Chain A
Amino acid sequence: MNGIHDLGGMQGLGPLIREPDEPVFHEEWERRTFACLILTLAGGQYTVDELRHSIERMDPARYLSTPYYEHWLHSAEDLLDKKGVVTREELARRAAEIAARGRD
């Protein structure tokens, strides 16, 4: 699809930001998102190409303003919901539980 992800040749997005000692993960939730993604892929819930296409279908403005692992999280939720593994209600309930508990 001709989506916002296909950035080749676009201008005006600013310089590439380079971090001298870039960590693998900037936040704990990124590390967990990585692990969840790998587990769902290895478990055969969806292919990496389905994941990629789900990322492409993100709202374009949100796609550009969110970090890489949020794209992964968005698509894991999207696909697990579509395939009936978890429901949006279960996700919302769990997110509310974690929010009420505060940060780990």
Chain B
Amino acid sequence: MAALPREIVATAIRTGASARAEVGSAPRFKVGDAVIARNMNPTGHTRLPRYIRGRRGVIQRNHGGFAFADTRAHGLGDQPQYVYSVRFEGRELWGPDAAVRDAVYIDLWESYIEPVPSR
């Protein structure tokens, strides 16, 4: 087992180990883009919550590149992707009974979302 240098312990616990990583390609989405969360049901690890699958949202922010949890959870490496903050309206998620001002912001890796198809 690798040794943990004493001097990094306090910082590591305070900040957590960052998963930030460079992505080699340009971002697929920009702020304001309408997107749809993919409907997928992998048996492995994913950070894509069930209640947004197939729902529409709007990109609010690009957080930059981060190691992909879905591959890191299975020994498949970092495979970094851009992570976006996406806003989903309450009524899109919960239907007409939801309060009109309710919304959920969820950080999503790029492969979790697709462009809303143009009509």
The DSSP consensus for interface residues of chain B is loop
Q: Flag if B13 contacts A49 (CB, 8 Å).
A: no
Which residues of B (69-98) have their CB < 8 Å from a CB of A?
69-70, 72-75, 93-94
The residue on B at minimum CB distance from A57 is: B45
Residue of A8, A39, A40, A52 touching B49 (CB-CB under 8 A): A8
Question: Taking A1-B44, A2-B50, A8-B51 as contacts, is the C-beta distance between A49 and B72 under 8 angstroms?
Answer: yes
Docked Cα-Cα span, A41 to B4, in Å, equals 10
Binary flags per residue of A36-61, CB closer than 8 Å to B gives 1, else 0 = 00111111110111101100100000
Does B26 count as interface, using CB distance less than 8 angstroms? no
The residue on A at minimum CB distance from B50 is: A6
Across-interface contacts of A40 in B (CB, < 8 A):
1
Does A9 count as interface, using CB distance less than 8 angstroms? yes
Q: Flag if B94 contacts A9 (CB, 8 Å).
A: yes
The residue on B at minimum CB distance from A42 is: B4
Q: Flag if B51 contacts A9 (CB, 8 Å).
A: yes
Across-interface contacts of A42 in B (CB, < 8 A):
2, 4, 9, 12, 17
Across-interface contacts of B70 in A (CB, < 8 A):
49
Across-interface contacts of B2 in A (CB, < 8 A):
42-44
Across-interface contacts of A39 in B (CB, < 8 A):
4
Chain B residues with CB under 8 Å of chain A are: 1-4, 9, 12-13, 17, 41-46, 49-52, 69-70, 72-75, 93-94
Nearest first, the 10 A-B pairs at minimum CB distance are A49-B73, A53-B45, A9-B51, A49-B72, A43-B1, A42-B4, A53-B73, A49-B69, A8-B51, A8-B49
Contacts A9-B50, A49-B70, A53-B74 known; 8 new A-B pairs at CB < 8 A = A1-B42, A38-B13, A42-B2, A42-B17, A44-B1, A49-B45, A49-B73, A50-B72
Chain A residues with CB under 8 Å of chain B are: 1-2, 6, 8-9, 38-45, 47-50, 52-53, 56, 85
Listed by A's residue number, 24 A-B pairs whose Cβ atoms lie within 8 Å are A1-B42, A1-B43, A1-B45, A1-B46, A2-B41, A2-B50, A9-B50, A9-B51, A9-B93, A9-B94, A38-B12, A39-B4, A41-B17, A42-B12, A43-B2, A43-B3, A44-B1, A45-B1, A49-B70, A50-B72, A50-B74, A50-B75, A53-B44, A85-B1
